[in-house]
Amino acid sequence: MILEVHNLSIHRQKSMLLSDISFSVSTGELVGIIGPNGVGKTTLMRSILGLVEHSGQCNISQLPTKERAKIAAWMPQEREIAWPISVEKLVALGTMPHRQYFGKAPHKPDQKVTQALKDLHLLPLKDRPATQLSGGEKARVLLARALAQDTPLLLADEPIAGLDPAQQISTMRLFATLAQKGKAIVLSLHDLSLAARYCTRLIVLGEGKMVSIGAPSDVLTEQNLKNVFQVRAWQKHTSEGHIFQPMEVI
Amino acid sequence: MTIKLFLTTLVCTLFVISLFIGPAHLPISDSLVAIFSDQGMLTLIMYEIRLPRALLAALIGAGLGLSGAAMQCYLRNPLAEPGIIGISSTAALGAIIALQTGFAASFAFALPLSALLAAAIGVFIVLRLSGPTASSLTLILAGVAVSAFSGALLTLVLNLSPNPFAVYEVIFWMMGSVADRSMQDFWLILPFLALGAFLLLKSKNALDALTLGEDAAHSLGINMHNLRLVIIFGTACIVGASTAIAGAIGFVGLVVPHILRPLVKAQPSQLLPISALGGAALLLSADIFIRVVFPTKDLKLGVITALLGAPLFLHLIVKLRKGQAS
């Protein structure tokens, strides 16, 4: 197992934000974390990365920062790019954990950087200042940076938010392909239909705890949808996968 | 590499020019001979007046340029400058208390040592105020608080001063200058500046990662707690030591990285070394300008850098308005 979380709880001030979360993720899995706004999806991922204090055990958060960077890459929801550095240089930052202590950025782009640029269709933009890109382009650049980190585990917070439908589908397909090639990927998602279609497993968070975990068809039950999301949905198993469409608010 | 080479050549040229300018009006050939052989008074002028002046201008300029770039990259704010964490204010307060109490006259290094001690106290207070896991905003607020309090105490000291001549002395000191400094002053601040430069340059890759924000930098293996301490301590060493010897020289740390940033496509790891070279070039130029244009006026270095810095804000406003219009 590349990621193991056991009885993880997070307190914020005096209240409990998440309690007793336990799950594990192995290589080759694409796991989606779903739940309503403010339930703690981002906080759970940040705690896995050692960015939020928690009780319980997590094999990734307990690693030293430098070691963790070689195992888990992180794409935060905030698309912060402070300086107008080129797209290629920004993506190349992903290779930093693998450089020597005083290592300089290589003059020639790393093969992983080129591959990440290619995978996210960013080669035509590689010389553009990253701050001048649209929101969707920035999301792709930041994802390419996380891919260039070349870690066995990738955590991404809302990676398809703000992308157009074509980019959303191609990004989810890319995640699925990467998972098939052996990477473990954990995403937080709001789009239940894409989560149902591409994720191998889903973790449903609701009211501070893990409500359910399993294959999309097992997790996206009428009862869970009603209790957690307060929606009714239409769903069907097809040759294209599990098709899911939220229909109305209950 | 071309920019680095150009700036290195420029700094070397300005340094040599700085050695050959002064009220003694020595011919260049005589000045050259006086550097390499004992020519009595001429050698004394070169080694005791001009060399420390040129060395301090280059060193302090480099330090301020470097720490300004580091502070801007750390806070991800192009308007940040080394004084933002309050160290220059506390160092100035320490120096002024030494001047006002007469302690500055008690032994040779009393003034700079008082300033350095005050700077160290300033670092301690800023770190205590901002807490162990401070965000950039908390750090800025702690710096502003310390700066404001030091400024208030400084005016109080001036206000209560019984001697108007002492007030004049303080005001002139605060304008910043590298004139009439000795080689001892240079040797006193060299270790602080070297340590500060080492710490800041060591952090340049981490500052690259910080372009993506603190969470992303952490996920790239950067220990944010250590980085914060290294940046604050490195900046404090440079700013505290510079203020201790040369007084408050503003705007170098703000202007230099700002001008040079587009030349390195904004990459922090490249901006840091060239900002050091740019800072040295700027302070050497300003010091040469003072001696050539106003040889009899004793114009202070901080006045010239402030005159250069103010138009930068006008440029920023124009740029911002153009951006908003388009």
Q: Could you report the per-residue pLDDT of B201-246, keeping only the tens digit for each? A: 999 999 999 999 999 999 999 999 899 999 989 998 999 899 888 9
Q: Is the domain covering B76-325 a CATH 1.10.3470.10 domain?
A: yes
Q: Quick check: B265 and A86 CB within 8 A?
A: yes
A-chain residue closest to B263, CA distance? A85
Q: How many whole angstroms separate alpha carbon B177 and alpha carbon B217?
A: 39
Q: How many whole angstroms separate alpha carbon B62 and alpha carbon B278?
A: 7
Question: What pLDDT score was predicted for residue A102?
Answer: 47
Please report the ipTM that was assigned to this predicted complex.
Answer: 0.88
A&B contacts, CB < 8 Å: 89
Q: Quick check: B266 and A69 CB within 8 A?
A: no
Q: How many whole angstroms separate alpha carbon A222 and alpha carbon B3?
A: 64
Residue A50 region, left (φ>0) first, then alpha (ψ -120 to 50), else beta? left
Looking only at the bridges linking them, the beta strands covering A209-214 and A231-238 are unpaired
In chain A, residues with a C-beta closer than 8 Å to the C-beta of B213 are 76, 78, 80, 82
Q: Quick check: B221 and A93 CB within 8 A?
A: no
Q: Quick check: A96 and B218 CB within 8 A?
A: no
Q: Quick check: A50 and B220 CB within 8 A?
A: no
Q: Quick check: A105 and B208 CB within 8 A?
A: yes
Question: Average pLDDT of chain B?
Answer: 88
Question: What pLDDT score was predicted for residue A23?
Answer: 95
Q: At what angle do helices B224-246 and B51-75 cross, to 10 degrees?
A: 150
Token code pair at residue A61? 């958060």
Element (H, E) at A186: strand A184-188
pLDDT beneath 70: ranges in chain B? 1, 24, 133-134, 323-326
Token code pair at residue A87? 């797209």
Q: How many whole angstroms separate alpha carbon B279 and alpha carbon B11?
A: 9
Enumerate residues 6+ apart whose C-beta is below 8 A from B242: B60, B63, B64, B189, B193, B249
The sign one gets for the Cα dihedral B49, B55, B57, B60 is: negative
Q: Could you report the per-residue pLDDT of A166-192, keeping only the tens digit for each? A: 989 989 999 999 999 999 999 999 998
Place of tokens 């930041």: A142
Q: Which SS3 state, helix, strand or coil, does residue A56 take?
A: strand
Q: Which SS3 state, helix, strand or coil, does residue A246 take?
A: strand
Q: How many whole angstroms separate alpha carbon A174 and alpha carbon A181?
A: 10
In chain B, residues with a C-beta closer than 8 Å to the C-beta of A97 are 220-221
B-chain residue closest to A95, CA distance? B220
Other beta carbons less than 10 A from residue A232's beta carbon: 13
Distances (CA, A) of A103 to A124, A151, B206: 28, 19, 11
Domain boundaries, chain B: 76-325
Q: Could you report the per-residue pLDDT of A90-116, keeping only the tens digit for each? A: 999 999 998 765 455 555 568 889 999
